[in-house]
């Protein structure tokens, strides 16, 4: 019987992060082909992470922080490869009969210009950020959340009230029913989400990230089915997984339509602020739904709930290369707990 594990991960730049009940591991393939693996304790979550309907938003924020940290770390390895100086070509030996060239006559540069320029010292802000990496980390998370809120929550409201066809419907009192208005905003939000995934999937670098995402799912499938983690075994499994972050985000969008329908009675600005305050509630409900559907994946209702998320994974996963599967296996092996029941979903 297949096991359902809590082990999950996130695709990085040329690598993967995997999170287990006890440890977090990051595996990145460098430009020279070497796989670098880093691991650290998962740490203890607060008591709020165990309270139903509260734990969802707490775990989500913790995942965002950990994901951003490892994403920045993987970028360091990529930047290191780009900055590595090329090996200088050997200077050809000068033949005995070769004419002597006067370097001073060839170069018109002054000694001051030809001298190596001193390195520019980092400014106060750069020095502060280097010493306070947590400021950069949490600042990145906040900026990411702000971007998501602006794109998926503020923009849909603006479109409904500003785009001519929708504005005309609103003026004709079609949206006098607040629930209908919120439904329209929710559908626009879902459309933006799908369009965003589609457009990002067209980018070459993002496609490689999606390939690593597929490698993550294949590896977890293999582990859940109790097979040895080898490239040959992992390769046979699907790139889609019901307990994926893509499925969670889609459920968040659906739950937001239902929850926000009870709080859409004021002006657009007030509605937006109230909905922002309700986002932790929405995330908490969505987490409980995906937690339940993950445990009862053979249930008819669970399959209905999982179907849209699995379909969207056609945009967020790709068939990986064997080299990517090797990276996923290295990361997964580091987070498998000693007790087989410690990571049961």
- Quickly list DSSP for 286-309: HHHHHHHHHHTTTSHHHHHHHHHH
Nearest-angstrom CA–CA distance, 318 and 11: 12
Nearest-angstrom CA–CA distance, 19 and 261: 35
Q: Which residue has the higher pLDDT, 116 or 252?
A: 252
Split at pLDDT 50, 70, 90, the class of 83 is: low
What is 218-250 written as a DSSP string? HHHHHHHTT----HHHHHTS-S--TT-HHHHHH
Split at pLDDT 50, 70, 90, the class of 122 is: low
Q: How far separated are the first and last CA of the chain, in Å rounded?
A: 14
What is 82-117 written as a DSSP string? HHSPPPPPPPPPPPTTSPP--HHHH----HHHHSPP
Is 317:213 a contact under the CB 8 Å cutoff?
yes
Split at pLDDT 50, 70, 90, the class of 1 is: low
What's residue 276's pLDDT? Answer: 86
Q: What are phi and psi of 118, to 5 degrees?
A: -65, 150
Is residue 78 predicted with pLDDT exceeding 60? yes
Q: Which residue has the higher pLDDT, 312 or 148?
A: 312
Split at pLDDT 50, 70, 90, the class of 269 is: confident
What is the share, in percent, of the chain residues with pLDDT greater than 90? 40
Is residue 145 predicted with pLDDT exceeding 80? no
What's residue 281's pLDDT? Answer: 93
Task: Tell me the pLDDT tens digit for each residue of 210-234.
Answer: 999 999 999 999 999 999 999 999 9
Q: How far is CA 261 from the centre of its chain?
A: 29
Nearest-angstrom CA–CA distance, 148 and 193: 10
What's residue 60's pLDDT? Answer: 86
Nearest-angstrom CA–CA distance, 277 and 174: 27
What's residue 121's pLDDT? Answer: 53
DSSP summary character for residue 5:
B
Is 189:253 a contact under the CB 8 Å cutoff?
yes
Mean pLDDT of 160-168: 68
Split at pLDDT 50, 70, 90, the class of 102 is: very low
Split at pLDDT 50, 70, 90, the class of 106 is: very low
What's residue 198's pLDDT? Answer: 93
The encoded tokens of residue 115 equal 């001298």
What is the share, in percent, of the chain residues with pLDDT greater than 70? 78
Task: Tell me the pLDDT tens digit for each residue of 85-96.
Answer: 554 444 444 343
Is residue 251 predicted with pLDDT exceeding 90? yes
Question: Could you tell me the CA-to-CA distances from 59 to 71, 229, 281 in Å, in that order?
Answer: 18, 27, 13
Buried b / exposed e over 261-270, threshold 16 CB at 10 Å, is bebbeeeeee
Mean pLDDT, the chain, integer: 81
What's residue 72's pLDDT? Answer: 87
Is residue 161 predicted with pLDDT exceeding 50? yes
Is residue 241 predicted with pLDDT exceeding 60? yes
* Cβ neighbours of residue 22 closer than 8 Å, sequence gap 6 or more: 41, 42, 335, 337, 342
Is residue 112 predicted with pLDDT exceeding 60? no
Is residue 30 predicted with pLDDT exceeding 80? yes
Task: Tell me the pLDDT tens digit for each residue of 169-208.
Answer: 555 554 456 777 788 888 999 999 999 999 998 998 899 9
Is residue 341 predicted with pLDDT exceeding 90? no
Nearest-angstrom CA–CA distance, 332 and 27: 9
- The beta strand positions in 113-210, using DSSP E, are none
Is residue 118 predicted with pLDDT exceeding 70? no
């Amino acid at each position: 019987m297949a096991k359902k594990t809590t082990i999950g991960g996130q695709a990085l730049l040329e690598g993967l992060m995997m999170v287990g009940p006890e440890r977090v591991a990051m595996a990145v393939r460098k430009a020279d082909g070497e796989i670098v693996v880093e691991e650290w304790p998962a740490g203890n979550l607060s008591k709020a992470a165990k309270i139903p309907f509260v734990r969802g938003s707490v775990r989500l924020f913790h995942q965002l922080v950990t994901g951003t940290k490892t994403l920045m770390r993987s970028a360091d390895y990529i930047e290191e490869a780009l900055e590595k100086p090329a090996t200088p070509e050997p200077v050809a030996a000068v033949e005995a009969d070769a004419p002597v060239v006067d370097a001073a006559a060839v170069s018109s540069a002054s000694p001051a210009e030809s001298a190596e320029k001193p390195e520019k010292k980092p400014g106060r802000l750069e020095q502060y950020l280097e010493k306070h990496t947590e400021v950069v980390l949490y600042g990145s998370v906040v900026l990411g959340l702000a971007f998501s809120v602006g794109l998926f929550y503020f923009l849909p409201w603006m479109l409904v009230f500003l785009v001519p066809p929708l504005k005309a419907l609103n003026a004709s009192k079609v949206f006098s029913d607040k629930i209908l208005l919120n439904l329209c905003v929710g559908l626009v939000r879902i459309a933006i989400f799908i369009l965003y995934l589609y457009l990002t999937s067209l980018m070459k670098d993002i496609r490689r990230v999606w390939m690593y995402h597929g490698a993550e799912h294949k590896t977890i499938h293999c582990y859940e089915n109790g097979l040895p983690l080898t490239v040959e075994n992992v390769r046979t499994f699907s790139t889609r997984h019901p307990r994926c972050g893509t499925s969670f985000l889609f459920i968040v969008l659906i739950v937001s339509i239902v929850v926000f329908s009870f709080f859409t009675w004021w002006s657009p600005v007030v509605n937006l602020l109230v909905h922002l305050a309700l986002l932790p509630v929405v995330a908490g409900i969505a987490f409980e739904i995906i937690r339940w559907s993950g445990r009862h994946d053979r249930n008819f209702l669970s399959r209905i709930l999982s179907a849209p998320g699995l379909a969207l994974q056609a945009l967020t996963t790709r068939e990986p290369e064997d080299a990517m599967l090797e990276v996923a296996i290295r990361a997964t092996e580091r987070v498998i707990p000693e007790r087989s029941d410690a990571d049961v979903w």
